[in-house]
Structure 1
Amino acid sequence: MGAPGRSSEQDSSTTARAVVAPRVELAGANLLRTIAVLAVLYSHISFYLIDDRGEGWWVIDVVYRVLIEDAGLNNHLSFVGVAIFMLLTGLLVTRSAMRQTRRDFAVSRLSRLVPALWVSIALAIVLVRLGINGMFSGQPGISNSEAALSFVLGGFFLKPEVAVLGVTWTLTVQLMFYLYCVAARDLLRKWPVVVPLLGAALCAAVLVYNLYIPQPWSVPMLSKIAATLPTLFLGQIIYLGWARIIGWRMVVVGVLAQAEVVRLATDVHAYWAGDQYLWTIVVVTGLVLLLGRYDGRIGNLWIVRWTGTRSYAIYLVHTLILYRVYENVVPYTGPTGAVLAFVLVTAGVSEAVYRWVETPAATWLNGRLRTGGGAARRS
């Protein structure tokens, strides 16, 4: 690329920075990520012990009575952690989507996600082929072509689905949101409330399409994405409201639009763990509103800061560790000791992924691929 192209990119970056998209301080982000991590870990432990092993654990009894029976959340706390992560994503990246160039926005997002994802996928494939772990879908193993597709999350769109690392389905939702923000960048800068409203309409259209279009033309994974995207749009709406870019009336309209998509997704059975998703999302939204700006002592504890900053690595690797560690340790320690062993091993592996893959790869890629230099990296 010659000098004129570079100048054009710099002009575009300058224009992007001129957009009025004020920073909203989220001092409680790490606390929310920590709660999300705990919910995700609990969910997979609960599914494994109750559904796979047919066993109990005193923590499951307490959580079931307090948060599921009394508070009305999804069984196994399914979707609680995912919803927190998605709301935070929508809340935190909307400003960048408005201010950065399309290229810089895409690079900054992908450089953080992709390297750790690829390392985790590779590890999952190795563990399956060594016979240590099984697939997260029904296949006894994974072919070379299926393995290659897994690195771009393509296995989730096959029929039947091929999942070597099941938790990465949420990254298809995040990537779809990022792609949508890039495509709708001009709308987001001029008429920001249109973006989540149009997003709700597109999600509803996908759900209706998969409901009425017969096989083989339906794409089941798209329904899962459409049922989850409203949580990202809710985070986007919260940012636009907190930043006073849109008024409270538009906030209400945007929230109601997302709620209707969740209701539709529930009615057409796009969700996978019951029918309490709307209420679960309401509770999670309230939690984000309550703790998002919290800057108290709990949020500044070292364990909260550590867990919050390593939350992506923990999310990626924990299911690769849970099942084998638990079944090998539980005969000697019982369920509580086995869960503690799982947590310790997950912490060690997550630290390695964060310190040696996620952070250095993001720094290296941003430094070489973004066009805005140091100023863009600070935006």
Structure 2
Amino acid sequence: MTGLVFTRGGQPLPPLADRPPAVAAPRGRERRPRLYALDGIRLLAALMVAAHHYAGTRRVNQPGNLIWDRPVSDIMPTVFSVSAYGWIGVEIFFVISGFVICMSCWGRTPRQFFVSRVIRLYPAYWFAVLFTTAALAALPGVWPRLPLRDVLLNLTMLQSGQGVMNVDGVYWTLWSELRFYLLFLVVVWMGLTYRRVVIFCCVWGAAAMLAPVAKLPLLALIADPEAAWYFIAGLALYLMHRFGQDLLLWGILGMAWLMGQKEIGARIDEVEHVGSWRGAVLIFTVFLAVMIAVALGYTDRIQWRWLVTAGSLTYPLYLMHYAAGTAVINRLHDTMDPRLLLATVLTGFLLLSWAVYRFVERPLAGAVKRGLDGAFTRLRKE
């Protein structure tokens, strides 16, 4: 190798050490074209997860299950065969999260990073916890109701760290997200540069590889080996997007794929028990190829503004669809065609997600941001 790297247009750049500081480690928050394709991918991933929970899990394919009362493969064999792979939407979320977090906090201070994460995560989450608790109280019989003290602890988003059940099972991914944010906050505090993010990827990746054999619970807790390499893939992809591709970034991405396919196989064997490793890895590989296209600018022509709205539905939809949606299916599965019921429930939750984004998330996020900004200003003065 000559040490050259290439921009998205294919033009060679000099080695990183020889680049001007503005190229090697651009600072500030200069305006960049919005990556509309990411919004569409996020919504597609959320719909994949929802379809899986409604019609593709091992649970819904058991005789006498509490959701459909009979195996989904008997009712909708094609839908079950496709939905069985929908859980990969979670891995897709993790990769996109690594990309978006790195992109959105470049040039920000730790305070700005903290505030941005709080207002992004908590308003819709608070509503989802209360909504799901009310829905399960109104539609009992499918999921257990948690004691009030556990519901209240769920509002912190830290219940997994206390060994307390989630109000909705999908919240387990938020525990991985929070640990990623805390780790990445260290790099934000130091100041984001190409070099520091690459070092972070390598150190975190090494810790994630060692954690399963080290038998150290604290290392496993921090390194999060089940999810780490998906976030690392997202970080590498963003560096490609910002600085251009090079062999080191391709190596990190290749390692993420190799570790990811291993985790995909483990998840099928130990958790999902549906689908095949080959099919799941193929879907994951196609997704990474699409993300590479996004990172290298091949999707920049996609400028469909409705995708912004579509992307805004993703988080509320993910938070609310599972427990409440399956409880609704339990009550209605004998009243209409199962395919129509699936479409109706998904449409209903998409509409609810838009309402939550428009009337809960946006107003509450603004209020929380003002409150936190005021609190940090006071801390700095006193």
Mark yes or no: TM-score above 0.5. Answer: yes
Q: Are positions 1:31 and 2:40 aligned together?
A: yes
Q: Deviations over 1:86-129 (max 9, x none)?
A: 22221122033331000101101111111111121122233344
Q: Are positions 1:115 and 2:120 aligned together?
A: no
> Equivalents in 1 of 2:179, 2:331: separation in Å?
38
In the TM superposition, what are the counterparts of 1:214-225 in structure 2 within 5 Å? 218=217, 222=221, 225=224
Q: Is the 8 A contact 1:31 1:308 kept in 2?
A: yes
In the TM superposition, what are the counterparts of 1:149-298 in structure 2 within 5 Å? 149-157=153-161, 162-185=165-188, 186=190, 188-189=192-193, 190-209=195-214, 212=215, 218=217, 222=221, 225-244=224-243, 247-262=245-260, 265=263, 272-273=271-272, 276=277, 279-290=282-293, 294=299
Question: What's the offset of the Cα at 1:198?
Answer: 1.4
- Aligned equivalent of 1:76, options 84, 99, 109: 84
> Equivalents in 1 of 2:168, 2:183: separation in Å?
25
Aligned counterpart, 1:6:
none
> Equivalents in 1 of 2:213, 2:87: separation in Å?
22
Question: What's the offset of the Cα at 1:150?
Answer: 1.6
Q: Is the 8 A contact 1:107 1:369 kept in 2?
A: yes
SS in 2 for 1:332: coil
Q: Is the 8 A contact 1:329 1:337 kept in 2?
A: no
Q: Are positions 1:143 and 2:158 aligned together?
A: no
User: How large is the RMSD of aligned CA atoms in angstroms?
Assistant: 3.6
Aligned residues: 335
Q: Structure 1 residues 205, 100: closer, same or farther in 2, change over 3 A?
A: same
Q: Is the 8 A contact 1:197 1:257 kept in 2?
A: no
Q: Are positions 1:324 and 2:336 aligned together?
A: no
- TM-score scaled to structure 1, two decimals? 0.75
Q: Is the 8 A contact 1:41 1:318 kept in 2?
A: yes
Q: Is the 8 A contact 1:204 1:264 kept in 2?
A: no
Report the residue type matching 1:355 in the other structure.
R
Query: Which structure 1 residue ranges, 5 or more long, are not aligned?
Result: 1-15, 68-74, 374-379
Question: What's the offset of the Cα at 1:261?
Answer: 3.9
SS in 2 for 1:98: coil
Q: Is the 8 A contact 1:117 1:316 kept in 2?
A: yes
Question: What's the offset of the Cα at 1:33?
Answer: 1.7
Aligned counterpart, 1:307:
310
The percent of aligned pairs where both chains have the same amino acid is 20
Q: Structure 1 residues 82, 221: closer, same or farther in 2, change over 3 A?
A: farther
Question: What's the offset of the Cα at 1:20?
Answer: 8.9
> Equivalents in 1 of 2:181, 2:157: separation in Å?
15
SS in 2 for 1:162: coil
> Equivalents in 1 of 2:43, 2:291: separation in Å?
12
Query: Which structure 2 residue ranges, 5 or more long, are not aligned?
Result: 1-24, 377-382
- Aligned equivalent of 1:55, options 71, 75, 90: 71
Q: Is the 8 A contact 1:134 1:141 kept in 2?
A: no
Question: What's the offset of the Cα at 1:17?
Answer: 8.2
> Equivalents in 1 of 2:112, 2:161: separation in Å?
28
- Aligned equivalent of 1:349, options 352, 362, 374: 352
Q: Is the 8 A contact 2:28 2:108 kept in 1?
A: no
> Equivalents in 2 of 1:102, 1:143: separation in Å?
36
Report the residue type matching 1:330 in the other structure.
H
Q: Structure 1 residues 19, 356: closer, same or farther in 2, change over 3 A?
A: closer
Q: Is the 8 A contact 1:120 1:317 kept in 2?
A: yes
